[in-house]
């Protein structure tokens, strides 16, 4: 007997997800009756689920029943690079947190937002609290500026055409000319800073992570409270971030 689920869950969606997860390397093809037995659902319900999933190419009909469709392969292919990135980055991020004692983050770019896909919190009592999946305006973060600076000029123009700046702190960049100048600096020197631009009292340093083809696929950063990141400490953090980003890049197959 299954336990109660939160009221907002859609039963049909959950059943569709459960159905898809029944397919595996050992069970590449499954029939309607077998799926109904495994899921504890009526065969008519399984028929409707399969018809809907087939229409979306998530499953396809075979002489012996059904198997996963090409759309599942497409979804898996889009997730695989992030899994490889996670595996390459986490040991290096752990080392960087150990040497800096501060919060270490890995982010990718989505539109004009920096999305944090991995994060290791500082062991200090005073921390920069957030979580994996957090989105912040790319223009206010060191990871975001690192990623924006790596875009081809025409792509940067396209994204900035839809940019609606909002002042989060007195230090947030809200002028396009200033932002472009800052991004040129980032591209030239190979690292970016966020000096209280997203949150007062927080600074960060970010550097690019490159894939095997040399393209920037993510950005690594260390964030710390301003009182722990004065000039000497910030310099050490910057060096650690740049070197760690290069190590992750090499683990991904990038040859400088």
Lowest-confidence pick of 19-33, 65-79, 230-244 = 65-79
The answer on pLDDT for 3 being more than 90 is: no
Q: How far apart are CA 185 and CA 178, in angstroms?
A: 11
What pLDDT, in 10s, does the model give residues 113-137?
999 999 898 876 544 556 677 889 9
Task: Tell me: do 141 and 197 sit in the same domain.
Answer: yes
| Contact (CB, 8 A) for 219 and 213 | no
HEC sequence for the chain: CCCCCCCCCCHHHHHHHHHHCCCCCCCCCECHHHHHHHHCCCHHHHHHHHHHHHHCCCEEEECCEEEECHHHHHHHHHHHHHHHHHHHHHHHHHHHHHHHCCEEEEEEEECCEEEEEEEECCCCCCCCCCCCCCEEEHHHCHHHHHHHHCCCHHHHHHHHCCCCCCCCCCCCCCCHHHHHHHHHHHHHHCCEEEECCCCCCEEEEEEEEECCCCCEEEEEEEEEEHHHCCHHHHHHHHHHHHHHHHHHHHHCCCCC
At 79-118, the pLDDT tens digits run: 666 668 989 999 999 999 999 989 999 999 998 999 999 9
Indicate whether 38 belongs to any domain: yes
Q: Quick check: pTM over 0.85? A: no
Domain-terminating residue out of 39, 68, 97? 68
Q: Quick check: is 4 in a domain?
A: no
Residue 105: domain span? 78-251
pLDDT at 8 over 50: no
Query: What CA–CA distance (Å, rounded) separates 129 from 126?
Result: 9
Mean pLDDT within 212-236: 87
How high is the pLDDT of residue 215?
94
Give the C-alpha separation, 61 to 141, whole Å. Answer: 48
Looking at the structure, tell me whether residues 161 and 114 fall in a common domain: yes
**Co-location of 22 and 148 in the same domain:** no
Tell whether 90 and 196 lie within a shared domain.
yes
Query: Do 28 and 101 sit in the same domain of this protein?
Result: no
| 30 shares its domain with 113 | no
Q: How many separate domains does the chain show?
A: 2
């Amino acid at each position: 007997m299954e336990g109660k689920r939160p009221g907002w869950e859609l039963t049909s969606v959950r059943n569709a997800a459960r159905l898809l997860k029944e397919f595996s390397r050992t069970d590449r093809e499954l029939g309607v009756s077998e799926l109904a037995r495994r899921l504890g659902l009526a065969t008519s319900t399984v028929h409707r689920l399969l018809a809907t999933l087939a229409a979306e190419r998530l499953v396809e009909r075979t002489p012996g029943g059904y198997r996963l469709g090409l759309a599942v392969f497409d979804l898996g292919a889009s997730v695989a690079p992030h899994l490889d990135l996670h595996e390459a980055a986490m040991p290096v991020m752990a080392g960087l947190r150990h040497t800096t004692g501060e919060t270490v983050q890995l982010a990718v770019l989505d539109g004009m937002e920096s999305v944090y896909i991995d994060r290791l919190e500082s062991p200090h009592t005073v921390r920069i609290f957030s979580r994996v999946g957090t989105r912040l305006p790319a223009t206010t973060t060191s990871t975001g500026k690192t990623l924006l600076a790596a875009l081809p000029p025409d792509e940067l123009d396209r994204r900035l055409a839809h940019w609606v700046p909002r002042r989060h702190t007195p230090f947030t960049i809200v002028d396009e000319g200033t932002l472009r100048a800052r991004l040129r600096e980032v591209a030239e020197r190979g690292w970016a800073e966020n000096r209280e631009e997203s949150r007062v009292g927080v600074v960060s340093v970010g550097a690019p992570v490159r894939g095997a083809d040399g393209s920037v696929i993510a950005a690594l950063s260390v964030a710390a409270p301003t009182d722990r990141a004065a000039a000497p400490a910030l310099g050490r953090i910057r060096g650690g971030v740049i070197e760690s980003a290069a190590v992750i890049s090499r683990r991904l197959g990038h040859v400088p």
